[in-house]
Chains A and B, each alone.
Chain A
């Protein structure tokens, strides 16, 4: 298998990066995505996830947990999470989870080919998010450790605040990534948006 994986956003990297962007977008094509479904009242489910991935699934709604090795678990629903981890870890992780949870009421789906995560930072990043999304991104109500599923313009997104800087992680279905980046470019202007790879 010699082919380089393609996320459908690679063309954006050929655009010139402005010298002093107001918003930085890092295309985290190095990250894989695993959708995890299971029951929180099954202690085995939680402990297997912890043992295999190293992260404890967050049980508080709309929060996320970071663990060693750039691995993050985000709460999506009472029985649903997204785990984001470096792509090279995904195949083994998915395989091991499926094996060890084969008797549990759980579903492990690799969505690495279907999701793209953008990290958005910079002086106008909060402003940009507020243009496209109705949530309150003020530090009084959205802080590192929190995440939410919402709309951004007309795309569905999973937004997590990952540092105070501020820096946000925005995960979007791959077929909406181009639209989201076009929308951001239109709002901030090509001279204000710097798109780089991970």
Chain B
């Protein structure tokens, strides 16, 4: 073989021999073949040492061939496309792949951290909890050191350059897993006409068939498998998703699948979406995820070269890679005999099969015996010789009930293929809320059928380990699932297969150790977290009983593999130590994600510009042309201020404020929420919702409206206009628009369905142009206004339908600035045109557009609050000095809460004005208020600054604040503290700074 891959065999397999791929491992140039995983390519190159364990830094090798791999945790690629922590067993090899180990410094072969292993006697379970508690002030240091030691790969600092997307999909039957059972389920459901989706995490469909010895008796991995896949591909009602992991199973048969679209391609050939999130809503789910082989817990069972027997077969049969030259097989069940047969037929020496059972295997013995492989029944492997690689094993006789045994012999080998039985992958079943039951024959937790969630577990995932039965269970489940979805099931003929009788598995949760002086070697249970049999027993001695507590004390089942390899063994050892039955101890909770899933695919396209919708008003183009920067207000982008050449924000705002106070200015108030209310009970309804006497409003009147929560706290405010006897128009705050509509609908639909009221949102329909200032009337008069705008004909707080330049508008005389002002509501399609017309009509008065900042200054000068800025959900109308807004003639939402003692406390936080004593300092918004006293921390906090601006009209800064007992404190001196520690002396004032009598707006 010229590939330079010394462990690659010349035999048929699922790798393309002509397609040699170059890759690097820790900088070393290596080759593999198309079809390889990174793990199979490393093994083909004879690389066994692929990492260091988490805590003890012991050398570790590849153990598995799939998702359960705990040791071969890699860093793939570099820069912004680096992928931390994929399992080498699940990384498909591509030309140019760069892989690095994630543990081991200075190198994986020579790791200084391995000192931990030498002192492992003190590094037992709970070491961190016991050691780093004291002294407490050292924790900062401890944490830094522990964090540096812990962890695996490194997440890139750069932004992810790739694209991700999500796709919703509905199907009748979702099949998770395309092994023999899953394929049959998909086919039988599909033939009945159901919409079928079948997903498998691997690049190729076939599951366990892909690992079968080619040409062996009953081998379906060739033409049969190809034909099944071809049929699925040909059916229009089937969608097949390879490289797609079902990682979450939620309520109502909603599952999330992550498809890896191009990670298997050379970087230069990648295009489009990297990963796709499939959000699947399935009528029925067939779970065909297979089973994980369990390791056995014997001394030094973590040495590179100790592997799962099924993985050894997979590397041999699927990838034509031998994991070693001299193998020992150690098992407590029949399945590993197939591995021994596979090894033998590939020309690899099988030194012996060590079977813990005294009786040896079942029917497979007939084939096995003919091969002449030595069988040592009733024996166990109790220790492994070799440190960075297996050099041999020590074998002892198994004595029932004994925890130690004499070493009977030492066998020289470089590979130990281990099988401790099989654990069905019940993860998704459990995520969906399904229960498990313990099968004492199989020594495994099996899914309990769960009709409530409409899923069916099949094949090895349901404890069926015979290929013939697997195929049958798949066909049957597919038919049942399709029938439940209303389709008629169809016969699916199955190939003739022999039914092998197996000898029962024998539990061997911890293997007797070799009798020796000194500390016995560690028997690992959770390989990634270095949890050993003795750690679990220690936890029990220290009083831990619950499996969830033991998990957290020993780290059993944490990490990237989430206990796929070790959990069942660990729970069984825990049960033994507690003297309880395994089902009594139970399992830890299975949670999404099944395997590590990227954050990016969960966020999918909701990033950057598309993270949130941005909404702009109909006049936005005009604002942009004036170089007005945006202020982000929820989803809205509103013009902030309109700078003239050379102006900064302060200068622009001061100029805009002056224009509004002295001449005329205009602002885009389109973002206010607007609700149309109609119906014979509209008055009654609004009277119950709002605090003022709605029934006292005459047609054409406007009123300031306050909406309280049931707790009596201010929820929203706005203008209410009565357009007709049964017709109102409400405005809400920009941020409250959707909430207020829902709030009103909630009461209408759930509490008072008898009230005849219709609500319709008009927020987008109307754009709002506020024309503000002493000259505002004069400007509108220039626009061919259909209405008499004089103070007597069109008084303050009224509304009129009108036309401006022939365009229909609702014209409001309301003011949020304290000046004479009009608000023009116009069909948004004509808003930009009307805005320009008003701007031009105001030219003679130097019409000044202004943004949100000036709006804030103008309203703060008047002491008008912004709900959500000057209030925070704990503020009553009384706190805002708005008690006058509360009708005494009727009931309204929140009224009763205002009678609670708490709502009447004298020391409630109340709205006040604050002036900095120096008359120059603009107070920091959010700044905390204290008494004017020597600063000794902690000192009582009396409230905070809610709004703060410099006021051009007044010539000094102003602020609003919520202050404990504020109303009684006018004239008091207090301190305001800013985040940077500066302290500003302030004086408490009234909250209305400008034109307190309101004369200016009422002209």
Contact = CB atoms under 8 A, between A and B. Distances in A.
B541 to A, nearest CB: 52
A113 B165 contact: no
A161 B524 CA distance: 60
Interface stretch (A44-52, A64-72, A102-110): A102-110
B676 A107 contact: yes
A126 B178 CA distance: 27
B676 A175 contact: no
A182 B609 CA distance: 9
B613 interface: yes
Contacts of B448: none
Given A107-B676, A140-B195, A134 B765 contact: no
Contact of A134 (B281, B606, B764, B827): B281
Interface in A91-146: 105-107, 109-115, 127, 130-131, 133-136, 138, 140-141
A40 to B, nearest CB: 13
A79 B745 CA distance: 13
Contacts of B493: none
B387 interface: no
B494 interface: no
Nearest to B609: A182
B281 A136 contact: yes
B627 interface: no
Interface string A15-44: 000000000000000000001010000000
B281 A113 contact: no
Nearest to B682: A107
Contacts of B756: 105
B829 A37 contact: no
B994 interface: no
Most buried by A among B169, B279, B766, B831: B169
A107 B758 contact: yes
Contacts of B613: 153-155, 176, 179
A45 to B, nearest CB: 12
Contacts of B762: 109, 111, 114
A153 B610 contact: yes
B503 to A, nearest CB: 49
Given A107-B676, A176-B615, A130 B168 contact: yes
B806 interface: yes
A5 to B, nearest CB: 4
Interface in B975-1002: none
Contact of B830 (A1, A79, A174): A1
Contacts of B609: 182, 186
A47 to B, nearest CB: 19
B266 interface: no
Contact of A179 (B614, B618, B678): B614
B600 to A, nearest CB: 15
Given A153-B610, A186-B610, A175 B617 contact: yes
Contacts of A79: 758
Given A109-B676, A183-B605, A37 B760 contact: yes
Interface residues of A, number: 42
B289 interface: no
Interface in B138-171: 165-170
A175 B758 CA distance: 23
A117 to B, nearest CB: 13
Interface in B693-710: none
A79 B748 CA distance: 13
Nearest to A175: B615
Contact of B165 (A106, A135, A187): A187
A173 B758 contact: no
B114 interface: no
Contacts of A130: 167-169
B166 A131 contact: yes
B830 A109 contact: no
B789 interface: no
Given A5-B829, A183-B610, A110 B765 contact: yes
A113 B828 CA distance: 5
B990 to A, nearest CB: 38
A179 B679 contact: no
A87 to B, nearest CB: 9
B165 A111 contact: no
Most buried by B among A110, A111, A115, A176: A111
A41 B338 CA distance: 75
B680 interface: yes
B621 to A, nearest CB: 8
B832 interface: yes
B587 interface: no
Given A6-B832, A174-B828, A182-B610, A114 B679 contact: no
A114 B764 contact: yes
A173 B616 contact: no
Contact of A131 (B165, B281, B763, B764): B165
Nearest to A189: B272
B195 A114 contact: no
Most buried by B among A106, A131, A155: A131
Interface string B825-844: 00111111110000000000
A127 B832 CA distance: 36
A16 to B, nearest CB: 20
Contacts of A115: 764
B107 interface: no
B829 A113 contact: yes
A154 B760 contact: no
Nearest to A174: B764
Given A136-B281, A175-B617, A179-B613, A109 B760 contact: yes
Nearest to B760: A109
Interface in B611-652: 612-618
Given A111-B762, A113-B767, A173-B764, 6 more contacts: A6-B618, A113-B764, A113-B829, A136-B170, A178-B616, A186-B610
14 contacts: A3-B830, A3-B834, A7-B829, A79-B758, A109-B762, A110-B827, A114-B765, A138-B170, A154-B606, A173-B764, A174-B618, A176-B615, A179-B610, A183-B605
